[in-house]
Amino acid sequence: MEGNEKIAPSVLVIYGGGGDLTWRKLMPALYNLFLDDWLPEQFQVIGVAKSDFDDDSFRAHVRNGIDQFSRSGKTTDDAWAKFSTYVKYIDGDFEDDALFAQVKTRVDEMEHAWGVPINRVAYLAVPPKFFELISKKVSESGFTADILRGRLVIEKPFGRDLKSAIELNDLLHGLYDERQLYRIDHYLGKETVQNILAFRFANALFEPLWNRNYIDHIQVTVFEELGVEARGNYYETAGALRDMIQNHLLQLLCLIAMEPPVSFDADEVRNKKVDVLHAIRKFLPEEVHSLAVRGQYDKGWIEGEKVIAYRKEPDVSPDSNVETFAALKFFIDNWRWQGVPIYMRTGKRMNEAISVITIQFKPVPHHSFPAATNENWQPNRLVLNIQPNMGIRLRFQAKTPGLKMLLNPVDMQFNYAQSYTGTTPEAYETLLLDVFQGDATLFMRADQVESAWALLMPVLNAWSANSSPNFPNYEAGSHGPDEAQAMIAKDGHSWILTPIDEPDCR
Ligand code: BG6
């Protein structure tokens, strides 16, 4: 226990309490917040679902999830004995007003018994088709009537295009104050993603170089080895552009490209981020084919295992036109970034599971060393490794030891596993703690979500209007379709993957 300042008395009601997100992510995150001493005595988490659970069987289910997925390993009997007293279950149908009234009454009674005002958080861990229904009923029940203490957390996907995102925002703004809304993008809770802000704005060294005068181009790669797994139904309505680029990758870009915030006030940071989205050059319909590449995985091999093609996955149409890979080229039209290309790519069933941001600096203006010394010369490169190995690597030239003058690129490396002991909090721990503490910095504001959709609409429209003639166009376990290599090669660049080395010791 670290003796953290505990959160105010709070109740978290998870709609979709019987689902996978609650089981794998939310409950293990709460358990770790409990172990790290963030949770007060006056705390309760209520799972709400339509299933066969009661309090006891729900607790057993929760414990089973924590034992499998918690970063701190299996529950101990002592810790569980205490934590389990926080966990409750209410069975009910989301269509039924009585369910929401029951939740509200339960929480009112708790507030009365505890004798203090409590934070009331409703968490929508449900498929998007329930967002409207539950957010209406939660609000109508009066659960979130106190603007300062009543909060609504919404998982992605937030809409599936600009129109539906605006409709959902309009609906929510009719029921809640924007300050009550916490739209999740779990990438923003990742330790290495938060560290982008620290790296950029707590160090004076890089800021003078962080612009078009010194940076040649930027690459963002988020590769997964996993396929769509059991999520074919959802993924058929999404694809890589909606599932990853609209949210996670564009948010990474905002953190890399934003201007320094005046303070870390939630709206100040979010204003600076949304400025980036506004400055990104719009795609013209006729440019989509040269600035965006889509792919879909075929059968192949991952880690020595044979895997099936996307079109053969459960709940996927055999002639699906949904992309499982997307690569795009952006420009940010402002003073800092004018003319600096930004390449982004993400895909499922790739050759590696890695998320990495590469800042490629411009070459030296003049090579003073004789050509023969320069054979291995590379421009400076800064690599921010988001996952799985976490760290930062700076590549520069050095003289190879010996009697001749030979230059070779070497790396300076910061590696979390070597620099820090202990395990890193999971994204959901950070995000849940922030919700309880009323800090929305790491959550998506309405205008951010809409700007990101607006930016991608020309690509989404072009891709849905024209089926890809060559799907599937990359083998599972490869680096994606050749067109993505061609897109960047046209500019004289190539995709870079420079993972952080595994540490020799921990
Ligand atoms: C989710 C996407 O938002 O992010 C998934 O819906 C994807 O398709 C996941 O697998 C990736 O998250 P992480 O944290 O594993 O990189």
Structure confidence at residue 371 as a pLDDT band (50, 70, 90): confident
* Total number of domains in the chain: 2
The whole domain housing 136 covers: 10-155
Confidence check: pLDDT of 138 > 50: yes
Q: Ligand 1 mean position to 372 CA, how many Å?
A: 46
Mean pLDDT of the chain: 94
Residue 395 in any domain: the answer is: no
| 435-459 burial code (b ≥16 CB/10 A, e <16) | bbebbbbbbbbbbbbbbbbbbbebb
Residue whose CA is at the smallest distance from ligand 1 atom 12: 187
Q: How many whole angstroms separate alpha carbon 32 and alpha carbon 110?
A: 24
Q: Which of 435, 406, 414, 379 lies closest to 186 in space, CA to CA?
A: 435
Select the more confidently predicted residue: 501 or 454.
454
Cα(132) to ligand 1 centroid in Å equals 23
Residue 372 confidence (pLDDT): 78
Task: Using a cut of 0.75, tell me whether the model's pTM lies above it.
Answer: yes
Residue 226 CA: nearest ligand 1 atom is 10
Question: Which CATH number does the domain housing residue 469 bear?
Answer: 3.30.360.10
DSSP conformation letters of 214-257: TEEEEEEEEE-S---TT-HHHHTTS-HIIIIIIIIIHHHHHHHH
179 domain residue, yes or no: no
CB burial of 257-290 (b: ≥16 within 10 Å; e: otherwise) equals bbeebeeeebeebbbbbbbbbebbeebeeeebee
First to last CA, the chain: 21
Q: What is the pLDDT of residues 10-39, one digit of tens each?
A: 999 999 999 999 999 999 999 999 999 999
Q: Are residues 197 and 150 in the same domain?
A: no
Indicate if 97 and 28 belong to the same structural domain: yes
Cα–Cα distance between 407 and 400 in angstroms, integer? 6
* Other beta carbons less than 10 A from residue 488's beta carbon: 20
Q: Order of strands, edge to edge, in the sheet holding 381-387?
A: 292-295, 325-330, 342-347, 215-223, 354-361, 381-387, 391-399, 407-415
User: Could you give the CA distance from residue 8 to residue 435 in angstroms, rounded to a whole number?
Assistant: 11
Query: Which of 248, 251, 431 maximizes ligand 1 atoms within 8 Å of its Cβ, making it the mutation to test the pocket?
Result: 248
CATH code for the domain of 113: 3.40.50.720
State residue 502's pLDDT score. Answer: 57
Together in a domain, 132 and 272: no
* DSSP 8-state assignment for residue 23: I
Between the CA of 362 and the centroid of ligand 1 the distance, in Å, is 32
> Residue 137's closest CA among 175, 89, 166?
175
Residue 376: band (very low, low, confident or very high) from pLDDT cuts 50, 70, 90: confident
With a cut of 80, say whether residue 4 has pLDDT above it.
no
- Closest atom of ligand 1 to 222 CA is 16
* Cβ < 6 A, ligand 1 pocket: 156, 224, 243
Atom of ligand 1 nearest to the CA of 224: 10
- Do 144 and 193 belong together in one domain? no
**In a shared domain, residues 70 and 206:** no
Count the Cβ atoms, other than its own, within 10 Å of residue 200. Answer: 17
Reported as a single tens digit per residue, the pLDDT across 423-439 is 889 999 999 999 999 99
Confidence at residue 375, expressed as pLDDT on a 0 to 100 scale: 77
Q: 243 falls in which pLDDT band (50, 70, 90)?
A: very high
Among 222, 296, 293, residue whose Cα is nearest residue 483: 293
* pLDDT (0 to 100) of residue 504: 45
Task: Based on the fold, state whether residues 329 and 468 are members of the same structural domain.
Answer: yes
Q: How far apart are CA 168 and CA 152, in angstroms?
A: 13
313 in any annotated domain: yes
- The verdict on 355 and 233 lying in the same domain is yes
Identity of the highest mean pLDDT range in 48-57, 248-257, 402-411: 248-257
Q: Is residue 416 assigned to a domain?
A: no
* 504, part of any domain: no
In sequence order, the β-bridge partners of residue 358 are: 219, 383
Residues that are catalytic: 248
Distance 499 CA to ligand 1 centre (A): 19
Q: Is residue 502 part of a domain?
A: no
Each residue of 311-344: pLDDT tens digit?
Answer: 999 999 999 999 999 999 999 999 999 999 999 9
pLDDT at residue 500 in the model: 66
Q: What is the Å distance from ligand 1's center to 261 Cα? A: 28
SS (HEC) of 143-180: CCCCCCCEEEEECCCCCCCHHHHHHHHHHHHHHCCHHH
pLDDT, position 505: 34
- Tell me the average pLDDT across 199-221: 97
Which atom of ligand 1 has the smallest separation from the CA of 355?
16
Confidence of residue 373 (pLDDT cuts 50, 70, 90): confident
Q: Are residues 35 and 95 in the same domain?
A: yes
Output the six-digit token pair for 299: 């059968």
Best probe residue, ligand 1, of 160, 243, 426 (max atoms within 8 Å of C-beta): 243
User: Closest residue (by CA) to atom 9 of ligand 1?
Assistant: 244
**280 inside domain:** yes
Determine which residue's CA is closest to atom 4 belonging to ligand 1. 244
pLDDT band at 501 (very low <50, low <70, confident <90, very high): low
- Does the pLDDT of residue 506 top 50, yes or no? no
Q: Which atom of ligand 1 is nearest to the CA of 231?
A: 8
Indicate the residue among 131, 155, 179 that finishes a domain.
155
> Do both 239 and 307 map to the same domain?
yes
Ligand 1, pocket-test mutation among 154, 193, 244, 251, most atoms within 8 A of CB: 244
- Single residue among 113, 138, 155 that ends a domain in this structure: 155
Of 405 and 115, more confident: 115
Are both 123 and 202 inside the same structural domain?
Answer: no
List the single range of 182-191, 354-363, 406-415 with lowest mean pLDDT.
406-415
For residue 172, tell me if it sits in a domain. no
**230 CA distance to ligand 1 middle (Å):** 13
Distance of CA 167 to CAs 53, 144, 183, 474, Å? 34, 21, 15, 36
Q: Which residues contact 281 (CB under 8 A, 6 or more apart)?
A: 330, 331, 332, 333
Name the residue of 224, 245, 310, 356 to mutate for ligand 1: max ligand atoms within 8 A of Cβ.
224
Pair (80, 139) in one structural domain: yes
Mean pLDDT across 364-390 = 88
| 192 and 269, same domain (yes or no) | yes
What percent of the chain stands above pLDDT 70?
Answer: 98
- Nearest residue by C-alpha to atom 15 in ligand 1: 224
503 or 445, greater pLDDT: 445
